[in-house]
Structure 1
Amino acid sequence: MKQVVPRVFLAAALAGLSAYLLKGDVWTFWTWWMLAFLMGMLAMPVTGRLFAGFEDKGWIFSKVLAIAVTGFLTWFLVAVKLLPFTTVSCIGVSVVCGILCIFLYFYQMKKGVDCLPAGRGTLIFREEILFFIFFLLWTYVAGFRPEAHGTEKFMDYGFMEAMMRSSTLPARDLWYSEGTINYYYGGQYFAVFLTKLTGSKVELTYNLMRTFVAAFAFTLPFSLVYQMTVDGLKDRLTGKKRCIPTLAGVLAGLSVSIAGNMHYVVYCKIIPWIQKLQGETPDSYWFPDATRYIGYNPVNEQDKTIHEFPCYSFVLGDLHAHVVNIMFVLLLVGVLYAWMKHVRSRKAVIEKISRKQFWIRQLFIPHILLVCVLIGMFHFTNYWDFIIYFVVAGGVILFTNIIQFEGKVKKVLTVTIVQAVEMIVVSYVVILPFTMKFQTMFQGVGIATHHSLIHQLLILWGLPLFLTVLLIICILWEKLRDGRNKGVYRLMRAIALPDLFAVIMGLCAMGLILIPELVYVRDIYENGNARANTMFKLTYQAYILFAMTMGYGIVRMLALAQKKVFKIFSVIGLVLLCWTFGYFGKSVTSWFGNVWEVSGYKGLNAVSFLENGVPEDASAIRWLKNNVKGTAVVLEAPGDSYKDYDNRVSAMTGLPTVLGWYVHEWLWRNDTDDLNTKRTEIETIYTSSDKELVKELLNKYDISYIFVGSCEREKYGTNLNEEILAGLGKKVFQSENSGTYILKVN
Structure 2
Amino acid sequence: MMGESEFMEQSNEKKRKIQLIVKILLAAAALGASAFLLKGDVWTFWTWWLLAAVMGFAAMPVTGRLFWRFEDKGWIFSKVLAVAAAGFITWFLVSIKLVPFTGITCAAVTVICAVLCFLLLKKESKEKIECFPVEKISLVYWEELIFFLAFLLWTYVAGFHPAAYGTEKFMDYGFMEAMMRSTVLPARDLWYSEGHINYYYGGQYFAVFLTKLSHTKVELTYNLMRTFVAGLAFAMPFSLVYQMTVDRMKGQPKGEKIKKRLPFIAGFTAGTAVSIAGNMHYVIYAQIIPWIQKLTGQEVSSYWFPDATRYIGYNPYREEDRTIHEFPCYSFVLGDLHAHVVNIIFVLLVIALLYVWLRGVRKKTVSAEVSMKDGSFWKKQLLMPHLLVISVLLGMFQWTNFWDFVIYYVVTLGTVLFANIIRFQGKIKKILAVTLAQMAEIYLIGYLVILPFTLQFDTMIDGVGIAKYHSYFYQLMVLWGLPAVLTITFVVSMLWEKLRKMEHKSLYRLMKAMRTADLFAIIMGLCAMGLVMIPELVYVRDIYENGNARANTMFKLTYQAYILFGLTMGYGIYRLLVVTRQKIFKVIAGICLFFLVWTVGYFGKSVNSWFGNVLDPSGYKGLYALGYLETDFPEDVSAITWLKENIEGAPVVLEANGDSYTGFERVSASTGLPTILGWYVHEWLWRNDTEDLNVKSTDIRNIYTSESEEQVRTLLKQYDVSYIFVGSKEREKYEDALNNALLQSLGDIVFIDEDSGTYIVKVD
Structure 2 length-normalised TM: 0.96
**Structure 1 residues 240-639: aligned runs within 5 Å:** 240-241=257-258, 242-346=260-364, 355-484=374-503, 486-639=505-658
**Does 2:225 match 1:206?**
no
Structure 1 counterpart of 2:144, one-letter code: E
Tell me what 1:182 maps to.
198
Q: Does 1:78 align with 2:94?
A: yes
CA contact (8 A) 1:650 1:657 kept: yes
Q: Distance in 2 between matches of 1:169 and 1:705?
A: 23
What is the distance in 2 between the residues matched to 1:426 and 1:238? 46
Q: Match of 1:33? A: 49
Does residue 729 of the first structure (1) align with residue 747 of the second (2)?
yes
Q: Which residue of 1 aligns with 2:763?
A: 745
| C-alpha distance in 2 between matches for 1:346 and 1:606 | 52
Q: SS state of the match for residue 615, structure 1?
A: coil
1:239 to 256, 265, 280: 256
Kept in 1, the 8 Å contact 2:238–2:268? The answer is yes
- Separation in 1, partners of 2:297, 2:737: 58
Map Cα deviations across residues 3-52 of structure 1 (whole Å, 9 max, x no partner): 32221111111111100000000000000000110011111110111011
Q: Distance in 2 between matches of 1:626 and 1:513?
A: 48
Q: 1:279 to 1:708 in 2, by over 3 A?
A: same
Deviations 1:221-240 (A, max 9, x none): 11110111111111336432
Paired residue for 1:673?
A: 691
Contact map agreement 1:505 1:546 (CA 8 A) in 2 = yes
Q: What's the secondary structure of 1:625's corresponding residue?
A: helix
TM-aligned CA deviation for residue 343 of structure 1: 1.1
Residue 459 of structure 2 aligns to a residue in which SS? coil
Cα pair 2:305 2:605 within 8 Å, conserved? yes
Runs of at least 5 residues in structure 1 that lack an aligned partner in the other structure:
none
Give, in whole Å, the separation in 2 of the partners of 1:304 and 1:350.
53
- The 8 Å contact of residues 245 and 266 in structure 2, kept in 1 or not, is answered as yes
Q: Secondary structure at the match of 1:227?
A: helix
Mapped contact 1:484–1:490 kept (Cα < 8 A): no
SS at 2:755 equivalent: coil
Q: CA-to-partner distance for each residue in 1:492-527, whole Å, 9 max, x for gaps? A: 000111010000001100110000001111111111
Q: Percent identity?
A: 64
User: What one-letter code is carried by the residue in structure 2 that aligns with 1:240?
Assistant: K
Aligned residue for 2:461, secondary structure, equals coil
How far apart are the structure 2 equivalents of 1:352 and 1:105? 35
- Alpha-carbon offset, residue 403 of structure 1: 0.6
Instruction: State the match for 2:172 in structure 1.
Output: 156
Does the residue aligned with 1:639 lie in a helix, a strand or coil?
Answer: coil
SS in 2 for 1:706: strand
| 8 Å CA contact 1:479, 1:485 repeated in 2 | no
Letter in 1 for 2:257: K
Tell me the alpha carbon deviations over residues 323-377 of structure 1, each in whole angstroms, 9 at most, x when there is no partner: 0000000000000001011113458789978711111111111100111101100
Q: In structure 1, what is the Cα distance between the partners aligned to 2:501 and 2:597?
A: 35
Structure 1 match to 2:700: 682
Q: Which of residues 60, 64, 72 is equivalent to 1:56?
A: 72
The equivalent residue for 2:189 is 173
Q: Is the 8 A contact 2:365 2:423 kept in 1?
A: no
SS at match of 1:732: strand
Cα separation, 1, equivalents of 2:634 and 2:583: 65
Residues 366 and 424 in structure 2, CA contact (< 8 A), matched pair in contact too: no
1:615-656 Cα distance to aligned partner (Å, 9 max, x none)? 00001001001100000000000111001x211000000000
CA distance in 1, matches of 2:416, 2:618: 52
Could you tell me how far apart the structure 1 residues matched to 2:368 and 2:456 are? 49
**Aligned residue for 2:125?**
109
Candidates 227, 230, 237, aligned match of 2:246: 230
Q: Are the structure 2 counterparts of residues 210 and 485 from structure 1 closer, same or farther at C-alpha, using a change threshold of 3 Å? A: farther
8 Å contact kept, 2:365–2:422? no
The partner residue of 2:135 within 98, 119, 126 is: 119
Summarize deviations over 1:551-573 as a string: whole Å, max 9, x none.
Answer: 10000000111111111111111
In the TM superposition, residue 2 of structure 1 has moved relative to its aligned partner by 3.5
Match of 1:658 among 664, 676, 681: 676
- For the residue of structure 2 that corresponds to 1:529, the secondary structure is coil
CA distance in 2, matches of 1:435, 1:485: 50
| Inter-partner Cα distance in structure 1 for 2:172 and 2:279 | 26
Aligned length: 745
After superposing the two structures, state which structure 1 stretch, 339-348 or 392-401, moved more.
Answer: 339-348
Q: Could you tell which deviates more after superposition, 478-487 or 655-664?
A: 478-487
Displacement of 1:528 after TM fit?
1.4
Q: Distance in 2 between matches of 1:322 and 1:206?
A: 15
Is the contact made by 2:368 and 2:424 (CA closer than 8 Å) also made in structure 1?
no
Are 1:720 and 2:738 an aligned pair? yes
Gaps of 5+ in 2: 1-16
CA contact (8 A) 1:650 1:656 kept: yes
Partner of 2:13: none
The separation in 1 between residues aligned to 2:213 and 2:30, in whole angstroms, is 24
Taking structure 1 as reference, are residues 485 and 83 closer, same or farther at Cα in structure 2, changes over 3 Å only?
Answer: farther
Give the aligned partner of residue 7 of structure 1: 23
Q: How far apart are the structure 2 equivalents of 1:424 and 1:129?
A: 37
The Cα offsets for residues 521-555 of structure 1, whole Å up to 9 and x where unpaired, read as 11111111100000000000000001110110000
| Residue in 2 that maps onto 1:99 | 115
SS in 2 for 1:259: coil
Q: Residues 446-490 of structure 1, C-alpha deviation per residue, up to 9 Å, x if partnerless?
A: 111110011101111111110000000001000001124610101
Corresponding letter in the other structure for 1:239:
E
Query: What is the letter of the counterpart of residue 466 of structure 2?
Result: I
Check whether the contact 1:485–1:491 (CA below 8 A) recurs between aligned residues: no
Q: CA separation in 2, counterparts of 1:238 and 1:462?
A: 34
The Cα shift of 1:118 comes to: 2.2
Q: Does 1:193 align with 2:209?
A: yes
Contact 1:557 1:566 (C-alpha < 8 Å) held by counterparts: yes
- Cα RMSD of the aligned pairs, angstroms, is 1.1
Q: Indicate conservation of the 8 Å contact 1:443/1:521, yes or no.
A: yes
| Secondary structure in 1 matching 2:300 | coil
Q: TM (normalized to structure 1)?
A: 0.99
In the alignment, the residues of structure 1 paired with residue 105 and residue 717 of structure 2 have an alpha-carbon distance, to the nearest angstrom, of: 34
Distance 1:284 1:179 in 2: 45
* Letter aligned with residue 28 of structure 2: A
Q: Deviations over 1:211-230 (max 9, x none)?
A: 00001111111111011111
**Residue range with higher mean Cα deviation, 402-411 or 338-347:** 338-347
